[in-house]
Amino acid sequence: MWQRRAFLQAAGAGFAASLLPRQALALDASELVFASAVQTANGSYGAVLLGEAGELIASIALPDRGHDVTISRAAGRGVVFARQPGTFAVVFDPAGNAAPVTLTSSAGRHFFGHGVFSPDGRLLYATESDFEAARGVVGIYDATDGYRRMGEFPTYGTGPHEMLLMPDGVSLVVANGGIETHPDYGRAELNIETMDPSVVFIDRRDGTLLGQLRLAAGLHQLSIRHMAIDARSRVWFGCQYKGAPSESPQLVGHASMDGEIALIELPAETLVDLRNYVGSVAASTDGATIAISSPQGDLLVVIDAAAGRPRLVQTLRSGCGLAADGDGFVASSGLGEMIGLAGAKRTPQRYDFQFDNHLLRVG
């Protein structure tokens, strides 16, 4: 199903031209396993689809820098979202039977780089900004009707970032980073003094707020950004601290639909090396371990989810992308490396493109 046979013909000349004959052979022989936004060697932006052994299966040209990718088997489509405050999302067919289609955010909205499909693949949800009102929204797109924007509901906060579908298939969890931005001012952060981050659970059927969780008031400059769900349906989150650089607050925690939210205690030396920044969070295949990354600190940390304690720390220059891989994880870097982590049997590889912040394992 995830073989990408006709991708070569369908995806356009720019993409086809990027494939060498040997890679075209790989296209026929392997299965799509990983996807990531990238910057190519010539400075242009795109997304790559990789096979199990890390071989390049296909690449998709993007008009500007992308961020995260989501793929739905049911929809037979993947989507690369523009990095905030971008206004495009590119829908592609991993099977290669249809040419990529570029969506544009509606007037007064921009994307935040993340989104998810409904379990049946009929709806696509994207985190977006209603930037005049400094209000986060979830844009709803009809995947059965050319990704027509059907409407939106609020994220009940400002600066929503990653959004995941909970295992119940109905609830969305959104990390409201709490930071106000406006396209008139690029990526400038406009409300660092008064930011108000939260984790929210939303019923995707009608946008009802199921629960909103905040950390202690003294941690209001701890922007909650990225998440993964463990075996107990707890949402692990990683934060970026926007307060004084001399402070090192805890950066990783978990929240649940039962209303619990807590930070775990990482050792002081690990926190210092994370540089007040977590760029990506992933859960292992069995949901028993969580990996987090800090490209600013060149650090990867694997955490035992049940114990809430780190099991492993490893360095990777500019390492950020994380995905489950075998018994462990695979990590990708802004310098074009891909390595195995915490028991994953994988030979380190180096590419001529640079991975963006997130690496998706196609389920």
| Burial class of residue 133 in the structure, from the number of CB atoms within 10 Å of its CB (0-12 exposed, 13-18 middle, 19+ buried) | exposed
CA gap 316, 297 in Å, rounded: 9
Output 140 or 251, the one with its CB closest to another protein: 251
User: Footprint of another protein on residues 134-193 (CB under 8 A)?
Assistant: 161, 180, 182, 184-188, 190, 192-193
Contacts to another protein from residues 112-141, by CB under 8 A: 113
What is residue 277's DSSP assignment? Answer: B
Backbone angles phi, psi at 23, to 5 degrees: -70, -35
| Interface stretch with another protein, choices 1-9, 27-35, 228-236, 239-247 (CB under 8 A) | 239-247
Q: What is residue 63's DSSP assignment?
A: S
CB of 251 to another protein, least distance (A): 13
Smallest distance, another protein to C-beta of residue 184, A: 5
Using the rule CB under 8 A, is 240 a contact of another protein?
yes
Smallest separation (angstroms) from another protein to the CB of 238: 12
Check residue 350 for interaction with another protein (CB under 8 A).
no
C-alpha separations of 130 from 23, 83, 104, 125, 250 in Å: 42, 16, 14, 15, 30
Nearer to another protein, 155 or 240 (CB): 240
For residue 114, give the amino acid letter. Answer: H
Report the distance separating Cα 193 and Cα 68, nearest Å.
Answer: 28
Verify binding: residue 6, another protein, rule CB under 8 A: no
Contacting another protein within 44-83 (CB under 8 A)? 67, 83
Question: Which strands form 328-333's sheet, in the order they lie side by side?
Answer: 319-325, 328-333, 337-341, 349-350
Which residues contact another protein (rule: CB under 8 A)?
Answer: 39, 43, 67, 83-84, 113, 161, 180, 182, 184-188, 190, 192-193, 225, 240, 243-246, 248, 272, 277, 279, 295-296, 317-318, 320-321, 333-335, 354-357
